[in-house]
């Protein structure tokens, strides 16, 4: 097997591991560690944390007011921030959420862009897409749609969205560069990127990165800030800003990541106007 073929096989295997984990979460309706129930999909005998916790509202950036009125199960506690709070969404805008899960950030964006706006969620897990669509129907979010697809290969037209958001998902991708290139492709000139994600504050060993449980729990797939900024700029983004959250503000559900030197961060960037 060639090096390229081996790399592709490894990336596909990693996607399958992540898909299986979050498909299980979608089916069961919560984050196993946050619910305190040991489960084989949690890893390490149930001690491995998920990306967030539904109960950790303020540490993750959501307020009770944000979540009021959303369908039950829209917030599965899988985020590490609130990307919709990182910029001012405007009525009539088109917003794309990379790795939309059960839909919480899409529904928050929906309120801000209004009836003349539109929100698209893309997720590679069929169970998550199905759950999100059910939530949209229950919540009567007529300006939101969910599409099945990989964020490295977005099922979205060129230059068709105003804002791209994502919440603790890109760290799960085996190859981050293609994700940022795709985000750049679908944004209109002058469009903005707003991401909440995990960032490594020190090097992560190859052994740790190879652990599928650590990778799929938003831990070992994180990049260091310098590499992340480099990939964004290589994709074409400008005005790149990364704000790392202090370790003292880490939610309980993210302490396992913090012990590895991985913290949540807010990331913003702009696609230049042509």
The domain spans of the chain are 3-270
* pLDDT surpassing 90 at residue 4: no
pLDDT tens column, 117-143: 999 999 999 999 999 999 999 999 999
Check residue 55 and give its pLDDT. 47
Rg (CA), the chain: 17
Residue bearing tokens 């005005």: 239
Q: Where does 29-164 have alpha helices with state H?
A: 32-35, 64-67, 104-113, 126-139
Please check the confidence at residue 163 and state whether its pLDDT lies above 60.
yes
Residue predicted with more confidence, 46 or 70: 70
DSSP letter for 68, please.
T
Structure tokens that stand for 184 in this block: 């750049």
* 62 or 188, greater pLDDT: 188
Contacts of 26 (CB under 8 A, 6+ apart): 76, 101, 102, 125, 127, 128, 130, 131
- Helix (H) or strand (E) run with residue 262 in it: strand 262-270
Q: What pLDDT is attached to residue 120?
A: 98
Q: How confident is the model at residue 260 (pLDDT cuts 50, 70, 90)?
A: confident
Burial class (CB within 10 angstroms; exposed 0-12, middle 13-18, buried 19+) of 99: buried
Helix (H, G, I), strand (E, B) or coil at 80: coil
**Structural contact between residues 93 and 165, judged by C-beta atoms closer than 8 angstroms:** no
pLDDT at res. 10: 82
CATH topology of domain 3-270: Rossmann fold (3.40.50)
Q: Are 144 and 84 in contact (CB under 8 A)?
A: no
Q: Flag the least confident range among 35-44, 79-88, 247-256.
A: 35-44
Question: Looking at residue 247, what is its pLDDT?
Answer: 63
> What residues have CB less than 8 Å from 65, skipping those under 6 apart?
none
Mean pLDDT, rounded, of the chain: 85
Residue 60, pLDDT score: 66
Whole-angstrom distance, CA of residue 27 vs CA of residue 131:
8
Q: For residues 198 and 30, what is the distance between their CA atoms, to the nearest angstrom?
A: 20
Report how far residue 165's alpha carbon sits from residue 196's, in angstroms, rounded to the nearest whole number.
8
């Amino acid at each position: 097997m060639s090096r390229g073929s081996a790399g592709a096989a490894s990336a596909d295997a990693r996607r399958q591991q992540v898909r299986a984990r979050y498909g299980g979460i979608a089916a069961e309706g919560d984050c196993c560690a946050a619910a305190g129930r040991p489960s084989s999909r949690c890893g390490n005998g149930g001690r491995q944390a998920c990306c967030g916790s539904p109960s950790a509202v303020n540490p993750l950036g959501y307020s009770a007011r944000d979540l009021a009125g959303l369908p039950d199960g829209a917030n599965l506690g899988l985020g590490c921030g609130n990307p919709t709070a990182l910029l001012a969404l405007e009525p009539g805008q088109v917003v794309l959420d990379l790795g939309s899960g059960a839909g919480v950030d899409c529904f928050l964006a929906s309120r801000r862009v209004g009836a003349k706006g539109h929100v698209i969620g893309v997720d590679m897990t069929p169970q998550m897409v199905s759950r999100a669509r059910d939530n949209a129907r229950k919540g009567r979010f007529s300006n939101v749609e969910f599409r099945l697809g990989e964020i490295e290969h977005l099922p979205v037209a060129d230059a068709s969205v105003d804002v791209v958001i994502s919440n603790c998902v890109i760290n799960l991708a085996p190859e981050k560069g293609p994700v940022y290139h795709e985000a750049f492709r679908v944004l209109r000139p002058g469009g903005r990127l707003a991401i909440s994600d995990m960032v490594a504050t020190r090097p992560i060993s190859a052994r740790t990165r190879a652990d599928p449980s650590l990778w799929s729990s938003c831990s070992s797939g994180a990049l260091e800030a310098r590499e992340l900024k480099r990939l964004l700029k290589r994709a074409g983004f400008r005005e790149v800003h990364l704000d790392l959250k202090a370790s003292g503000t880490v939610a309980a559900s993210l302490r396992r990541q913090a012990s590895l030197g991985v913290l949540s961060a807010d990331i913003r960037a702009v696609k230049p106007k042509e």
